[in-house]
Amino acid sequence: MKIALFDTKSYDKSHFEEANKSFGYDIVYFDAALNKHSAIMARGADVVCPFVNCTVDKDVIDILAEEGVKLIALRSAGFNNTDYRYALEKGIKVVRVPAYSPHAVAEHSFALLLALVRKLTHAYVRTREFNFSLSGLVGMDLYGKTMGIVGTGKIGRSAIDIAKGFGMKVLAYDPYPAKIEGVEYTDLSTLLKSSDIVSLYCPLTNDNRHLINGKTLDDMKDTAYIINTSRGGLIDSEALLEALKARKIGGAALDVYEEEAGIFYTDQSDEGIADDTLARLISMPNVIITSHQGYLTKEALMAISETTLSNVKEFEENKPLTNQVK
């Protein structure tokens, strides 16, 4: 089996090389993201392995099918960038990595939250310039605050455990609620109105795109913070910017952005960015943005590599595909 791995970074290659010692596949690594222009590079491969900022639409799938690709092995939990129904029509199955390290993403969301509410980025910049004044750095306790968890899958549940460790009250919203001790499920509107922090841990679907929009932002407390480590499309970025400008919410910490493709994972320091909304968000003192790195731990990278190659192994041996997107 030959695997074409797209949008490869050095840390991807090193972990896949380590995991592949147990499988022995022929893996070809491409720096380019998978799209209609680069899909031809998959010629001769049985499997393509795209990442979150690749575009696997009908045009790409037509090229892959023509080139003989039999499997799309997503190395991510989300699959909103892949037209999996059309792929199946063309005889190409799609698999994913549903769980690699829920702790990595949940812990990153709290790292963002702490940096935001304790103004750590401002303090760091000051002390680098030998300014040890504390003026303007007053934060808030997390203890006793209400955290609204939107999405209670594995990552959301990990976040709930962390929130409880801080002594926070937890409200949750999920279309498919689970029985979790010490967690009160409620509707989204009530959660937004009642929470001091709202954190998103859900996949992006056609039904929940712009789940956080002008109307739902109006439901939030003026002092509330919003955290998103899931998918950028869950938040209407322009509506968020307007709410921040109008001081309708306290701040935001984002590891994802709805138009991040072509920006995140790249060095834009020489040329800047043309996305005015993102540029204005980055410039705001009560906003922290990281470049979709919530998953980026050595444990998660190894789990992604091993699960991806295990998915390929199941396909090669004609076994039921444990992680198939259907």
For the chain, strand residue ranges (E) read 2-5, 26-29, 47-49, 71-73, 93-95, 146-150, 169-173, 184-185, 197-200, 225-228, 251-254, 287-289
| AA letter at 29 | Y
Q: Which of 4, 126, 7, 17 is nearest to 55 (CA)?
A: 7
Q: How far apart, in whole angstroms, are the C-alpha atoms of residue 204 and residue 233? A: 7
DSSP 17-45: HHHGGGT--EEEE-SSPPSTTTGGGGTT-
Pairwise CA distance, residues 143 & 162, whole Å: 12
Nearest CA to 116 out of 214, 239, 255, 220 is that of 255
Taking alpha carbons only, the member of 49, 41, 37, 38 closest to residue 13 is 49
Chain CA centroid to CA 241, Å: 20
H and E: helices and strands count for the chain? 11, 12
Cite the active site residues.
Answer: 231, 260, 292
Task: Tell me which DSSP letter residue 128 carries.
Answer: H
Phi-psi map region of 44: left, alpha, beta (phi>0 left; psi -120 to 50 alpha): left
Q: Are 270 and 74 in contact (CB under 8 A)?
A: no
Give DSSP secondary structure letters for 188-212.
Answer: HHHHHHH-SEEEE-----TTTTTSB
Selection from 294, 232, 282 nearest residue 257 by Cα = 232
